Structure 1
Amino acid sequence: MIKEEKSVCKTYGEMDIGSFTTELGARIRNVKIAYERIGPKDAPVIFVCHALTGNQYAVGDEEQPGWWSGLIGKGKHIDTTKWQVITMNVLGGCNGSTGPLSEDGDGNKYGVKFPFISVRDIVNSHYSALKRLGIRNVHAIIGGSLGGMQVLEWGILYPNFAKLLLPLATSPYLSDFGIAYNTIARFAITNDPNWNEGNYEGNPTIGLSIARMIGMISYRSSEQFNARFTREIREGWGNNHQESSYQIESYLKYQGEKFINRFDANSYLYLLKAMDHHDIGRKRNGWRKALATIKANIVAISYKGDIIYPSNVLNEVGKICQHNSQTAKHYEIDTIFGHDGFLVEFEKWGHLIEEELNGIH
């Protein structure tokens, strides 16, 4: 179903791209990719790639603002009166694109029978969907975290598709440290009795909420947690082991409980595996040589205190790409929000995006 709001030139829909074959050779039938499209239809396209628990609603609406509504919209840093912005839910996701919750063609949900997918599979499926929308090239591709992984793959898989690449809070490969966090999250979900080898009827709430709490710790810096919560007492101390003595405990539990109502555990597992497998140098003689194939201008942004994707890695990406593309830059944003810096404090870095978008012709 397609919903159109002509006053804001906004479209929500699902694009049927037919059968899709993964990197591992698995064939997925009747693949659908859900999307949000906003802005003048004849304007240059900015393609947005979302992070692990994101979705296609980057802009959203007045009732439910999107996860990047502070960056994208009328009169904002990515101005939707000037640019046409398209965001797609990832393959393997749980917000309309084909994933574990989808039917497998025989009337059953895929569940853990869904094929393993890679970041390259996500990019290839989105390329097919964009072609179906009549998009043959874009002005820029932007995304953070898992979205940034996609941005880098876009530049390698389709070197002539975009003029500008904007990878944020990401890396050309996921480090062992990053895989370690994903391992704990995966262990929490798969060892929840309600996971039932992936054949659950309702989310395995304990495991998925623990996984989310683990993620929340890795997304922020210690400075941000300490400054926000300041060891504030909530329920008192020493009554029982289930008490939330401190405000930070209550916050993490709340984040876990909220998450189980909006995200599917199997989708989370599949996307964690895709992130673990992310390495732009895989089968390309290493990530440095892979970067050499990028033709687009590239502007990378990292965030101080990001423990998963430290700034020095993206800084090296920028240096390597300076020898290959027309323009290659790296900015580090001073923030206490760590990895989540790409979702907040747009006043600190949104102008950089705006300037780079306007500077490329």
Structure 2
Amino acid sequence: MFGSKHLYFKLAGAAAAVAMSVAALPALAVDITGAGATFPYAVYTKWAEAYKAASGNQVNYQGIGSSGGVKQIKAKTVDFAGTDAPVKESDLDAAHLVQFPTVMGGVTIVVNLPGVASGQLKLDGATAADIFRGTITKWNDPRIAKLNPGVKLPGTAITISHRSDGSGTTFVFTNYLAKQSADFKRDVGAGNTVNWPANAVGGKGNPGVAANVMKIPGAIGYVDIADAMKNKMTFVALKNKAGNYIVPNQDAVADAAAGANFHVRGMAPDLLDQSHKNAWPITSATYVLAYEQADATKQKAVVDFFKWSLNNGQKMAEELGFVALPPNVVKMVEAEMKNIK
């Protein structure tokens, strides 16, 4: 579809050559810039690479955290922003922004416990909340041991690895834990930034959290599935609403999103702690923010990039650990993008 602009034909005859040289000139490339959530960084950069090869247009995306992305688009310093924490309808209206999902994924709980295999350690929501609010501080705590008969748990101190930047991943994760525990909501909070306990260490972006977990024995943290898979990290099996212990995977994310109603303002249904028997409890979509009105050339470039990516980049997304939007939701996104002018 896009390759024809790069073809140059040799035709006999000077008049034909002149005529064809005009037709064959490549269209002026339009570069666009985005910034925000680190959760979708891998897929947006992969899409951008493939899109440039197909169209000649450059898309630059910086993973600076969801809060940073929202600030930048409100300051009009980027062409689009990425956020895992969906912006409220009233804020979209006030800032004249359009919001739509691009892919779905899961926030996973990962640990560094030598001798414990991935998926072997089981936690329920209430126990996870007590760990992340700092009231369970040793791995051999009776509350953890009760959920893990037969697992040799060390007396190692627990170190919590968390995001140091304003983060949509933190928003998703803490909102899940706040649903499980009123004490967590009171003591730590729920949002892009929260009040972590004293036994916590911060890292920038999902890669920073992953790095801290991998280097600190006894550490526990939260990262997206893609970063956890890439780093071959040790997953926790988490008890879902149906009472089943689930290891995070793409099928479990898809099951959590099955039947979700994206036909709401901002296209942001709550996908946390869904009732499907195989649902991963900490499932979320990630979102793009764009202007309703801005430079027409840039606006068209934003729409063209994401329309191309949603229709041609789903396999790339799945290879990176994300879950593609269902075809009916892609059509809804395309309809929503008509508001970007």
Structures share fold, TM-score greater than 0.5: no
Give the TM-score, by structure 1 length: 0.31
Which of the two has higher C-alpha Rg?
Answer: 2
The higher relative CO (CA closer than 8 Å, separation ≥ 6) is in: 2
Give the TM-score, by structure 2 length: 0.32
